[in-house]
Amino acid sequence: MPHPLADLAAGLRSRTLAFLRSPVSREFWNMLVDQGHTFVMPAAWTALPRARQIEALLAAEGKRVSDGTTFTMTDDLVRAARETGQDQTIPLPFTPDVLPAPSGMLVFSADEPLAHLPTGLPVVAVTWGPPMDGFSPGVHLTWWAPMREEDQEKDAAARGRLIPIIPDFDLHLPFLPHFDTRLHSQKLPSGLIYSAIPLRSVVAAWYALTADGTTLREERPPATLTQALKDLKAKKRGVQVATGSGTGTAHPGITDRAAQTMRDLEGADYFDPVPELAATTRKAEHGVFDASLDHQLDAGHRRIAHIYREAADHWHRLETQVTQRYPGIFADLEELRAHSRSQWQPWCWMPSIRVSAWLTRMYGASIEQASWDGPRIAALGAWRSGGRHSVLTTLPLRYTASDRVPAELTETMPAHGLGLVFDDDGTVHLLLTYLDEVGDRGNAELVLISNYGRPASMLEDITKLSVFLTGDTLLDAVKATQMYYDHAAVQDGDQPHPTDEALYAEHAYSLGLFTGTLASLCTPGAELQDAGALTGRKLPAPWPPEPNVLSETTLWLLTGTPTPR
C-alpha cells in the first residue's frame, strides 16, 4: 500500500500543475500583481507587457512542478526542519550539495506544515528549480500556502477553477560564496524579517532530505493519480518519501552539518554582506510621478511624468540585472570603496578596472564578461552612490552639440555619477556618465553609457562612449584616447586599430552631442529645478545635488545653459 504522504504529495502536484496551466491562474496572478505582489523575474522581463510577464512566470513555475522530483517527509523530519528554521542563532550555509534534486516540489500536510505564516496559513509546499536567465548560480524558490476553502469560488473544482495553493513568497537563493542574510543573521532589516523563518525552514528541510541518516524511498501513487500526472505530461511521477533513522537524530543531523560547513568558511569575511545604501528595490519606484496621479497634471507635466517613468524603469532594469548576475555587488563595491578610495583620484567613484577585477575574483566572471560589465557597473554604481540624480533637457541634441573637451569636469561634477535624459523630438535618450581613472598616471576618462533611445535595452545592449579629458577639441581627445588603447593592445601582443579619420570624427561628433549639455549643467551657476517639486507634491531639493538614501531617481530640469568656462 502506498504511503499516505505519497498520495498527498502526488495529489497536490497534480492539482497544482492543472491550476498553473488553466485560465484561472492568469486571472489570479493578475489579481496578485494588482494588489502589489512582486514576483522575481529576469530584469529583461520587466519591459514586457504584464500579460506576457504572467505567461512567462506561470510557464517557469509549471516547468519546475512538471519536470522536478516530488518529495515529502515524515513528521519527525518536518519538526526538526521547523525547529532549526525558527532558531536564528544557527547559520544555514547554502551549497549545491544541500539540494535533494536540481528541481522539485516538497509537500507537507496542513497538520504538520513546514512553517506558519504571519497570516496564520501553513506552508504546505515548496517548489524550486534552476536559476532564471541572468541570475547567479543558485535556485529559484517559492513557498506556498493552501487557498482557504471560504475563498474558493462555488463549485470551483467542477468548473475547473480550483486554486489548490497560492504563492506566498518567491526569491532567487544563491549558492555560496553569496550568503543570504536571512540564513545567518539574527538581526535583520525589517524587509527581510517576514521571509526569514520560512526560508530558513526550507533550507533546513533540504538539509534533512540530504542527511546521511535520512532514507529516501520512491512510492508510486494510486493508478488514478499516476494517470492524471501522465495526462499532464509530468515527469518522474513517483514520490520520494523521506524517513529518519530514529528519534532525536534529525535535528543534530541538520545542525552538525551546517556547523561543519560554517567552520570550513572561517576567515571568509565577505560572507556577511552589509546593508546597501539606497538598495535596489524589487519594483521601480515612481514617487510623485506615479501614473495614477497623471490626471492631476497638465500636458507638459504629464510628458515629464512619462519620461520620468521611462527613465526610472530603464535604470531599475539595469540595476536589477546587475544584482541578479552579481548578488550583493553594489554593497560589496561600496564597502571596497570605503576602505580603498584614497588609492585613486577623488573625482572617480571607483576605477572600472577595479570593478572588472572584482567580478573575476569574487564572481568567477570571464575576463571578456568582466571587461564589458565593469565600466557599465561602475557607471551605475557611481550614479546610485551619488543619489540617482538625473537631469532632463528638452533641447534637441543638435542644438547642444559642442566640440570642446570639458576638462573642468574633474572639478565641477556635482556627483560621481549623473543621469542625462534627452527628450529629442519625442525620443528619450537615457545616459549615465561618470569619470573613470585610467592608467598609472591617473588619466581622467569621461565615460557615458547610453540606451540610444531604446527603452528595453539591457546591460549587453548598452553602448559605451569614452574620451580622455585632454587637449582642446574632442577630435584631438578622441585620437589621444585611441592612441592610449592602441599602445595597451600592442603591449598585450594584439594589433592596434588602423587609423581612420572618418571614424575619429564620427566618435567625436557622437560625444559632442552630450558633452556640451553635461558641461553646462556642471558649471557653477547652472539653473536646475527639481522636476518633482513642480507637481506640487514635494518640497524642492536644492542644486547642486547631494547623496541621499532614496531608492528612487531625482529628476532635475535644466532651465538655463550658462557657457562653461
Residues 315-327 have pLDDT tens digits of 999 999 999 999 8
Nearest 10 degrees: CA dihedral of 354, 359, 361, 363?
160
Determine the pLDDT at residue 562.
42
- 178 and 184 in contact (C-beta within 8 Å)? no
Residues 348 and 222 in one domain: no
Number of domains in the chain: 2
Residues 175 and 30 in one domain: yes
Residues 203 and 299 in one domain: no
pLDDT confidence band for 546 (50 / 70 / 90): confident
Tell me the residue range of the domain where 460 lies.
Answer: 287-558
Three cell numbers, residue 497? 586599430
- Mean pLDDT computed over 513-528: 88
Q: In Å, how far are 406, 466, 473, 499, 511 from 508, measured between CA atoms?
A: 13, 10, 9, 14, 5
The DSSP line for 267-282 is T-GGGSPPPPTTPPPS
Pick from 211, 235, 266: which residue ends a domain? Answer: 266
Residue 460 lies in a domain: yes
Residue 537 lies in a domain: yes
Distance, first Cα to last Cα, the chain: 88
**Low-confidence winner among 65-69, 83-87, 192-196, 276-280 (lowest mean pLDDT):** 276-280
Determine the pLDDT at residue 200.
97
Determine the pLDDT at residue 282.
80
Q: Which of 377, 311, 321 is nearest to 553 (CA)?
A: 311
Determine the pLDDT at residue 565.
38
pLDDT confidence band for 278 (50 / 70 / 90): low
Share of the chain above pLDDT 90, in %: 66
Residue 473 lies in a domain: yes
Residues 110 and 254 in one domain: yes
Residues 212 and 298 in one domain: no
Residue 274 lies in a domain: no
Residue 563 lies in a domain: no
Residues 252 and 305 in one domain: no
Residues 261 and 183 in one domain: yes
Q: What pTM, to 2 d.p., does this model score?
A: 0.85
- 367 and 341 in contact (C-beta within 8 Å)? no
Residues 352 and 256 in one domain: no
Determine the pLDDT at residue 487.
78
Determine the pLDDT at residue 271.
44
Where do we find the cell 553646462? 520
pLDDT higher than threshold 60 for residue 39: yes
Residues 243 and 319 in one domain: no
Q: 494-505, pLDDT tens digit by residue? A: 777 777 888 889
pLDDT confidence band for 201 (50 / 70 / 90): very high
Higher pLDDT, 506 or 497: 506
Residue 114 lies in a domain: yes
Residues 361 and 254 in one domain: no
The DSSP line for 361-398 is HHH---HHHHHHHHHHHHHHHHHHHTT-EEEEE-S-HH
